[in-house]
Chain A
Amino acid sequence: MSDARTVLSLRGVTKRFGGLVAVNELDFDVAEHEVLGLIGPNGSGKSTTLNLISGALSVSDGEILLNNHLISDLPAQKIARKGVARTFQLVRMLPSMTVLENVMAGAVFGHRRRWGREAERQAMRMLELVGLERRASARPSELTYIDTKRVELARVLVGDPKVLLLDEWLAGLNPTELEQGIALVKQLREEGRTIVLVEHVMDAIRSLCDRCVVMSSGQKIAQGPTAQVLADPEVIRAYLGEDDA
């Protein structure tokens, strides 16, 4: 940790919905080239945290920094342009556009902005990366579920983001697809991408995450190297449901 550069920092981040505190005084750092797992039981505030980082929700308190610059006061589109890209828990395609255009959306307006043929070339390269170059002119409705997830991944990768937020990207896949999905994220990890992974699939967490931050009822209850965190009695208790109302 100490030798790697911190890309993303959360400092005392709190989100209140009326009386409900969904995220409470959350602190953690994400280092460059690191895959950080943000895990915890349902309703523990993981997705809310991701929504706070990406600007879909605004923080009630605390701050979020990207490369030491405050981003938590910016609207979602500016955060995206600064290099934070995200996928959605329920995959979101642009139904009237082709697969290639879906990916171009990220190329044209994302962190690295390109236009015309250059955007098309980059989008095509990303489709090759996720193995969908043959489906470039298909419509999203013609794709299988995992392929729509691949398109979404290509769309966020094409802008060359500084931090990639994957919100349960592996959820809902069948065992074969899951294997392919994990392999794909592994490939991103080997490329040195910085990723924050909200995930439930334990196999994926074990094989993909360098470190984990565990949340329960909106609070951080543990953090550290994945194997160590998953063996923590408090984490096990939270997952078994005793602490998580």
Chain B
Amino acid sequence: MKSSDYKSLGIGALLLLVAVLLPWVVGDFTLTLAVNMAMFTVLATSWALFSGPTHYISLATAAFFGLGTYTMGLGLDHLPYWLLIPIAGLFGALIAAIIGLATLRLSGVYFVIFTLGLAEMTRQIITFVQNATGQKGILISIWFEEATFYWMLVALAGLIFLIGWLIGRSRLGFALRIIGDDEEVARHSGINTSLSKVLLFMIPGAVAAMTGAIMAPRYGYIEPLIAFTPMLSFQVVIMALLGGTGRLWGPLVGVIPFSILWELLSASFPNQTTLLLGLSFLAIVYLLPQGFVGLLLKLRSRFGDGRGH
């Protein structure tokens, strides 16, 4: 490892420590906001691990998240909460592998539509099954303090940053950067492009499912519209793009301001949130195509602080 590696590991550990200490110093409102931030940090960072290098925009986050909440909801009668989180992760990874094998050979546009359709389809199927069986939703009987959710999500975030950091230094990470630049070159350089993409797609799949499982008790009662809300998929994409997917910490830079802004907007304009979401998406793509990370690197190179590595 190089000295810069130790430095980034050190900074990461320090930030994690600060994040862990947060519940002891902030009030209830801020803690609730922090839970959302931690959740979106987890989702957006794992999303960017795959979509950043490959440029495949996945709108499947809600599908995996919902899968996780339902794994928890249905499993709690038989298994303990702690065991169900990794099980949800395994389900997520498995479903992601199946979807990946079926769709990642296709070009990006088909993939986007497929992933969006997948979330909707899953929601409709569960709604249909529930209507057929006369059941409306699932009541979750366990309950945790807000800080407990927060710590679980922070731990998951720490794990994702570590995985992302390791991938960035691995052959797989290098392969994905090549695939993102030119898939043809990648194939002719000896890279199994399909396998690399499927492997990486399993990460956001597993993570979103685990997040859904962790969060299920927070909802208390889960039904398809909560568990599979398409809004979640779009929020994750927007936050990741706002921050920038070129660096591991990029999405985090998007999650923090967006979560605060979102909280303010949805409190002030509860009926126009979807409209505002759409507008902010357009604004980000138009004004900040490389996100805050891109802006930062551009400023850095303009003001002569090296090449911005």
Give residues in A with beta carbon < 8 Å to B. 54-56, 75-78, 80-81, 85-86, 88, 92-97, 101, 104-106, 108-111, 113, 115, 137, 155, 159
Q: How far is the CA of A73 from the CA of B182 in the complex (A)?
A: 23
Establish whether residues B185 and A77, one from each chain, have CB atoms under 8 Å apart when the complex forms: no
Q: How far is the CA of A211 from the CA of B175 in the complex (A)?
A: 37
Given A108-B171, A109-B175, A115-B171: A76 and B181 interface contact (C-beta under 8 Å): no
Partner among A95, A106, A137, A159 whose Cβ is within 8 Å of the Cβ of B181: A95
Q: How far is the CA of A85 from the CA of B189 in the complex (A)?
A: 7
Please give, as numbers and ranges, the residues of chain B lying within 8 Å of A96 by CB-CB distance.
177, 180-181
Establish whether residues B190 and A81, one from each chain, have CB atoms under 8 Å apart when the complex forms: yes
15 A-B residue pairs with Cβ-Cβ distance under 8 Å, sorted by A, are: A77-B190, A80-B188, A85-B188, A86-B188, A92-B184, A96-B180, A97-B177, A97-B178, A106-B189, A108-B171, A108-B174, A109-B171, A109-B175, A109-B178, A159-B189
Question: Nearest B residue to A82 by beta-carbon distance?
Answer: B190
B189-211 contacts to A (CB < 8 Å): 189-193
Given A94-B182, A105-B185: A77 and B177 interface contact (C-beta under 8 Å): no
Q: How far is the CA of A105 from the CA of B171 in the complex (A)?
A: 10
Q: Is B187 an interface residue (CB 8 A)?
A: yes
Q: How far is the CA of A63 from the CA of B307 in the complex (A)?
A: 49
Establish whether residues B184 and A105, one from each chain, have CB atoms under 8 Å apart when the complex forms: no
Is chain B's interface secondary structure helix, strand, loop, or mixed overall? helix
Establish whether residues A77 and B187, one from each chain, have CB atoms under 8 Å apart when the complex forms: yes
Add 9 more A-B contacts to A55-B187, A78-B190 (CB < 8 A): A55-B188, A56-B184, A77-B188, A77-B193, A80-B188, A85-B188, A94-B181, A96-B177, A111-B190
Establish whether residues B189 and A110, one from each chain, have CB atoms under 8 Å apart when the complex forms: yes
Cβ distance B183 to chain A, nearest Cβ, rounded Å: 10
Establish whether residues A109 and B190, one from each chain, have CB atoms under 8 Å apart when the complex forms: yes
Cβ distance B54 to chain A, nearest Cβ, rounded Å: 13
Please give, as numbers and ranges, the residues of chain B lying within 8 Å of A101 by CB-CB distance.
177
Partner among B171, B185, B190, B193 whose Cβ is within 8 Å of the Cβ of A94: B185
Please give, as numbers and ranges, the residues of chain A lying within 8 Å of B188 by CB-CB distance.
54-56, 76-77, 80, 85-86
Cβ distance B180 to chain A, nearest Cβ, rounded Å: 7
Q: How far is the CA of A77 from the CA of B195 in the complex (A)?
A: 11
Give residues in B with beta carbon < 8 Å to A. 171, 174-175, 177-178, 180-182, 184-193, 307
Given A80-B187, A85-B188: A92 and B182 interface contact (C-beta under 8 Å): yes
Question: Nearest A residue to B180 by beta-carbon distance?
Answer: A96
Question: Nearest B residue to A158 by beta-carbon distance?
Answer: B189
Establish whether residues A94 and B192, one from each chain, have CB atoms under 8 Å apart when the complex forms: no
Partner among B180, B185, B191 whose Cβ is within 8 Å of the Cβ of A92: B185
Please give, as numbers and ranges, the residues of chain B lying within 8 Å of A108 by CB-CB distance.
171, 174-175
Please give, as numbers and ranges, the residues of chain B lying within 8 Å of A93 by CB-CB distance.
182
Please give, as numbers and ranges, the residues of chain B lying within 8 Å of A78 by CB-CB distance.
190
- Name the residue among B178, B180, B193 with the largest chain A CB count within 10 angstroms: B178
Please give, as numbers and ranges, the residues of chain B lying within 8 Å of A77 by CB-CB distance.
186-193
Please give, as numbers and ranges, the residues of chain A lying within 8 Å of B307 by CB-CB distance.
137
Question: Nearest B residue to A137 by beta-carbon distance?
Answer: B307
Q: How far is the CA of A158 from the CA of B161 in the complex (A)?
A: 33
Q: How far is the CA of A101 from the CA of B185 in the complex (A)?
A: 13
Q: How far is the CA of A88 from the CA of B189 in the complex (A)?
A: 12
Please give, as numbers and ranges, the residues of chain A lying within 8 Å of B175 by CB-CB distance.
108-109
Q: How far is the CA of A101 from the CA of B309 in the complex (A)?
A: 14
Q: How far is the CA of A110 from the CA of B190 in the complex (A)?
A: 5
Cβ distance A171 to chain B, nearest Cβ, rounded Å: 18
Please give, as numbers and ranges, the residues of chain A lying within 8 Å of B187 by CB-CB distance.
55-56, 75-77, 80
Cβ distance A175 to chain B, nearest Cβ, rounded Å: 29
Cβ distance A103 to chain B, nearest Cβ, rounded Å: 10
Cβ distance B36 to chain A, nearest Cβ, rounded Å: 32
Cβ distance A149 to chain B, nearest Cβ, rounded Å: 14
Please give, as numbers and ranges, the residues of chain A lying within 8 Å of B177 by CB-CB distance.
94, 96-97, 101
Please give, as numbers and ranges, the residues of chain A lying within 8 Å of B181 by CB-CB distance.
94-97
Please give, as numbers and ranges, the residues of chain B lying within 8 Å of A75 by CB-CB distance.
187, 192
Establish whether residues A94 and B178, one from each chain, have CB atoms under 8 Å apart when the complex forms: yes
Given A96-B177, A97-B177, A115-B171: A109 and B191 interface contact (C-beta under 8 Å): yes
Q: How far is the CA of A75 from the CA of B186 in the complex (A)?
A: 12
Q: How far is the CA of A94 from the CA of B188 in the complex (A)?
A: 13
Q: How far is the CA of A155 from the CA of B182 in the complex (A)?
A: 14
Q: How far is the CA of A15 from the CA of B182 in the complex (A)?
A: 25
Please give, as numbers and ranges, the residues of chain B lying within 8 Å of A159 by CB-CB distance.
189-190
Establish whether residues B189 and A80, one from each chain, have CB atoms under 8 Å apart when the complex forms: yes
Please give, as numbers and ranges, the residues of chain A lying within 8 Å of B178 by CB-CB distance.
94, 97, 105, 109
Establish whether residues B180 and A105, one from each chain, have CB atoms under 8 Å apart when the complex forms: no
Given A94-B178, A105-B178, A115-B171: A88 and B184 interface contact (C-beta under 8 Å): yes
Cβ distance B203 to chain A, nearest Cβ, rounded Å: 21
Given A97-B177, A115-B171: A109 and B189 interface contact (C-beta under 8 Å): yes
Q: How far is the CA of A92 from the CA of B187 in the complex (A)?
A: 12
